């Protein structure tokens, strides 16, 4: 498992690499544009190319995941907001791809009380259209677009794996779409994983719905709020309501090894994740792995990982066609009603 954190881009994208290295991160995440403003960052192609070159040759920070703007809402029925959201998502995909990111994480948006059914198809088609538009600008396929599960507040979309699976199904199983699973959102939405059995049930649910081949990133956070409260509030690992044991049960699952695991926590000094926070994450993971190895040695079962998937090359291409479904993906993704 590759451990890292969301890092600041103050002073420019290039500074983020140094910050990630300073906290002993294998992987880093930052926003492709200011998360709460429509205006994009004023960086030219030369800066993006220099960043990609430095990342490709960096000895310790090996993987970049970008996060899309929080303002994007592909589920809105407001024409003006929808146009801005489409343009911003296309731009975020283009920037992330030029930086060499493996993926761009997106909060699917909010139906604002209308329910998922009336907006799901349009959301899925707009996501695919943004991927197509980014590919046209780039002259190649963009990085993957990962839909993140949500804590379930208000009309937010992605409160369950079934909702994410429905969007992927309506996107015709486009292989450029996947998911990012956030541990705090999962807990706040009412999904337990404290025991190994519960953690295996979560992984099994991913396999049955969206498929393990589409799970490409973990956001690893403890929770400031109790179980099932549908509120998005992150806490440092071991200092919240989830706790180290539950996080270890999930992070240690055999099917999740090799994924980027990114901290989005306040940090021990409340200035963002530090080296000590990553050390805690690695210790939690190691403890969970020991418990899983003991279980398997006793003959216990675990949901199996998917076959290896092609790694993205520096030019953004893989050996797979864009319409090929990820390894282990059902056709179409199964849904539990």
Q: Is 185 a catalytic residue?
A: yes
Given 264, 291, 322, 324, the catalytic residue: 264
Is 67 a catalytic site residue?
yes
Please tell me which residue in 26, 102, 174, 232 is annotated as part of the active site: 232
Q: Is 235 assigned a catalytic role?
A: no
Cα–Cα distance, 148 to 67 (Å, whole number): 10
The pLDDT value given to residue 114: 72
Calpha distance 171→128 (Å, rounded): 7
- Look up residue 40 and give its DSSP letter: P
Residues 289-313 as b/e (b if ≥16 CB within 10 A, e otherwise) read bebbeebeeeeeebbebbeebeebe
Q: Which of 100, 163, 90 is nearest to 133 (CA)?
A: 90
Q: Which candidate, 4, 21, 13, places its Cα nearest to that of 45?
A: 13
Task: Decide: residue 11, CB within 10 A, 0-12 exposed, 13-18 middle, 19+ buried.
Answer: exposed
Q: Which of 98, 208, 219, 325 is catalytic?
A: 219
* Residue whose entry in the numeric block shows the structure tokens 């998005």: 232
264 catalytically annotated:
yes
Question: Catalytic: which of 31, 98, 159, 185?
Answer: 185
Would you list the domain boundaries of the chain? 2-297
Round to whole Å and give the CA distance between 29 and 17. Answer: 10
At 202, list the tokens.
């979560």
Active-site option among 19, 67, 98, 312: 67
Q: Is 232 a catalytic residue?
A: yes
Nearest to 206 by CA among 281, 149, 143, 156: 149
CA distance 309 to 260: 14
pLDDT of residue 314: 44
| Cβ atoms of 237 and 280 closer than 8 Å | yes
Q: What is the pLDDT of residue 309?
A: 57
Helices within 36-138 (DSSP H only): 45-57, 79-99, 117-138
Concerning whether 148 is annotated as a catalytic residue, the answer is yes
Please identify which of the residues 169, 182, 200, 277 carries the catalytic annotation.
182
Entry pTM = 0.89
Average pLDDT by consecutive 10-residue portion of the chain (337 residues)? Answer: 96 94 97 88 89 94 96 92 96 96 94 81 95 97 97 89 94 95 97 97 96 97 97 97 98 97 94 96 98 95 74 43 39 33
Among residues 31, 159, 214, 234, the one annotated as catalytic is: 234
Decide the pairing of beta strands 222-223 and 27-31.
unpaired
The pLDDT of residue 333 is 34
111 is catalytic: no
pLDDT of residue 181: 98
Contacts of 283 (CB under 8 A, 6+ apart): none
Residues ≥6 apart with Cβ < 8 Å to 9: 15, 16, 30, 31, 41
- Rounded to whole angstroms, the Cα distance separating 289 from 286 reads 5
CATH hierarchy code of domain 2-297: 3.20.20.150
156 secondary structure, DSSP code: B
């Amino acid at each position: 498992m590759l451990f890292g954190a969301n890092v600041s881009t103050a002073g420019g994208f290039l500074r983020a690499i140094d910050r990630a290295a300073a906290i002993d991160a294998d992987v880093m995440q930052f926003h492709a544009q200011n998360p709460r403003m429509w205006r994009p960052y004023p960086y030219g192609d030369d800066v993006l190319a220099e960043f990609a070159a430095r990342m490709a040759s960096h000895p310790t920070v090996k993987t970049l995941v970008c996060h899309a703007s929080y303002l994007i809402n592909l589920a809105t029925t407001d024409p003006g907001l929808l146009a801005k959201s489409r343009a911003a998502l296309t731009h975020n995909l283009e920037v992330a791809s030029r930086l060499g990111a493996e993926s761009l994480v997106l909060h699917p948006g909010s139906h604002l009380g209308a329910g998922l059914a009336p907006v799901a198809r349009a959301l899925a088609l707009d996501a695919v259209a943004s991927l197509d538009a980014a590919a046209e600008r780039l002259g190649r396929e963009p990085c993957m677009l990962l839909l993140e599960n949500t804590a379930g507040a208000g009309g937010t979309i992605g409160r369950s794996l079934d909702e994410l699976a429905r969007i992927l199904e309506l996107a015709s199983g486009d292989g450029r779409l996947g998911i990012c699973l956030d541990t705090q959102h999962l807990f706040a939405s009412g999904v337990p994983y404290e025991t190994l059995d519960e953690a295996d049930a979560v992984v099994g649910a991913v396999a049955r719905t969206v498929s393990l081949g589409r799970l490409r990133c973990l956001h690893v956070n403890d929770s400031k709020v109790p179980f099932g409260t549908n509120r998005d509030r992150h806490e440092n690992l071991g200092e919240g309501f989830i706790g180290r044991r539950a996080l270890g049960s999930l992070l240690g699952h055999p099917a999740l090894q090799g994924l980027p695991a990114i901290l989005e926590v306040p940090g021990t000094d409340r200035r963002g994740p530090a080296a000590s926070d990553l050390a805690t994450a690695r210790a939690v993971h190691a403890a969970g792995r020991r418990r899983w190895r003991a279980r398997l040695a006793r003959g216990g079962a675990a949901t199996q990982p998917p076959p290896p998937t092609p790694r993205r090359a520096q030019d953004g291409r893989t050996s797979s066609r864009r319409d090929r479904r990820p390894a282990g993906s059902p056709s179409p993704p199964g849904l539990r009603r």
